[in-house]
Chain A
């Protein structure tokens, strides 16, 4: 048994049958499964240390605060932030992006300014900017996707990074196309023009080594639940200089240094962005997940992702009538497809009866779907606990589906 196969035993959920068939979970791009180490860390916290963080004098509060801040340190190390104060805990990628829009964005954008996005963004990296544009009079512009091969049209990037652009926000890895964008290059080109950058790392965090300083971004947002951690916890990285100049996100406890009846002063970075009791157990689960991934090695995970994606993509491409989206090579383990004229929901329903968890729909990428001329696609997404046999089984089941619908 290879090391990868042994890792499967860490995920109790994978050892089950669905509709009488062994479960093959290919929906990691939506959320990944959780290893026992993460479940146990959270359980242990609730059983032994549960208490509220900060300002507590008693022993349990001290332990909870230490564990919560240790999770922040671990997260800072995970993305190589300069210091832990550059890590703000959020509910997930979406909240991180909304935080930047509502604090940095509201303060810095004025009518006529441009927010540059790409056509492959998830709704969570489009809608907050639309709301901000509405509020500030700024405009949106998009770096185009070239076509089914799912690449961004870089020829036009320098033209688009014009003097009106204040922010360039883009995804690291597309949740529909599996494209891996050259984010360090994007940041370098934006920085030359004095443009602030935000990286949506929802699909890349936990799939490859991430180094915010090497990427050179100003903000980077990711979710815990897509990298073996629990739901409801994520992190936003921001350069301290920018965070210091930003107003708070929400008002409440923990984010103030002093409160008067008519005015308050703010706590220091990052606490001024974390109003109210945080998701303490979630942060502890995230810490355990990051330790778990580091023990495997993120470079090893990236290699496994690439091998599995390449293998599955190549095998799927041999199915008659299949339309595959995204780049042929150098891609992430997220594969969107149309099986002839069979609707994605019909594909997913039949696959489910064979024990395969796929996803079908617009994947929160409606503008991209319209551009590609499809209503929806089916999607298989892989993580390190998936293997070649599961990719083989996927292709077999897709053949069955084609037979079933007479295509």
Chain B
């Protein structure tokens, strides 16, 4: 029981949730998008600064649980310097990791979220900042939601 909990709330996740990296607005961002989970009220805005199809800087703001906040923080570290197409692939692999627990080394520290696969009800938390990032890449102005049905 506690082994699985410790796998979910790894030290990296607790650390990043308490002290998130790149947790600020990016005034010079080219793209921004909002991710919202109406089930719990968690919401994040992701900011991307692009140059020649490369993410030269990214950041996020918002509020949510330890899992979603750490996921956002780790995501900014994983994706800085990646190309747009690499970021899309990593988002796919990250999504697969949350469902299966199989890691992709390219995900760097974001691999520490693999333990979420033991907690299917929390996958949407870990996905929220990544879905907002994907929406920003697609220049989607529509708010994205990880949960279609709100209570």
Interface residues on chain B, size class: 20 to 34
Instruction: Determine the residue in chain A with the shortest Cβ distance to B3.
Output: A353
Is there contact, CB below 8 Å, between A345 and B40? yes
Q: Within residues 350 to 407 of chain A, which ones have a CB less than 8 A from any CB in chain B?
A: 350, 353-354, 360-364, 366, 369, 375-376, 404-406
The 3 closest A-B pairs by CB, nearest first: A343-B65, A375-B41, A345-B65
Answer yes or no: B63 CB below 8 A from chain A CBs.
Answer: yes
- Alpha-carbon distance A177/B1, docked complex (angstroms): 31
23 A-B residue pairs with CB within 8 Å: A20-B1, A21-B1, A342-B66, A343-B64, A343-B66, A344-B65, A346-B9, A346-B65, A346-B67, A349-B5, A349-B8, A349-B121, A353-B2, A353-B4, A361-B39, A361-B41, A361-B151, A362-B151, A363-B151, A404-B9, A405-B9, A405-B14, A405-B66
Query: 1/0 per residue B23-45: CB within 8 Å of A?
Result: 00000000000000001111000
Instruction: Determine the residue in chain B with the shortest Cβ distance to A122.
Output: B151
Answer yes or no: B16 CB below 8 A from chain A CBs.
Answer: no
- Alpha-carbon distance A144/B80, docked complex (angstroms): 47
Is there contact, CB below 8 Å, between B41 and A366? yes
Extra inter-chain contacts (7) besides given A343-B65, A353-B4, A361-B40, CB under 8 Å: A342-B66, A343-B64, A344-B65, A350-B5, A375-B42, A375-B63, A375-B64
Query: 1/0 per residue B1-24: CB within 8 Å of A?
Result: 110110011000010000000000
Q: Which residues of B contact A406 (CB under 8 A)?
A: 14
Is there contact, CB below 8 Å, between B5 and A404? yes
Query: 1/0 per residue A40-77: CB within 8 Å of B?
Result: 00000000000000000000000000000000000000
Take A361-B40, A362-B40 as given contacts and tell me if A349 and B122 are in contact as well, using a CB distance cutoff of 8 Å: yes
Question: How far does the Cβ of B6 sit from chain A's closest Cβ, in whole Å?
Answer: 9
Residues of B bordering A, CB below 8 Å: 1-2, 4-5, 8-9, 14, 39-42, 63-67, 119, 121-122, 125, 151
Question: How far does the Cβ of B45 sit from chain A's closest Cβ, in whole Å?
Answer: 15
Q: Which residues of A contact B8 (CB under 8 A)?
A: 349
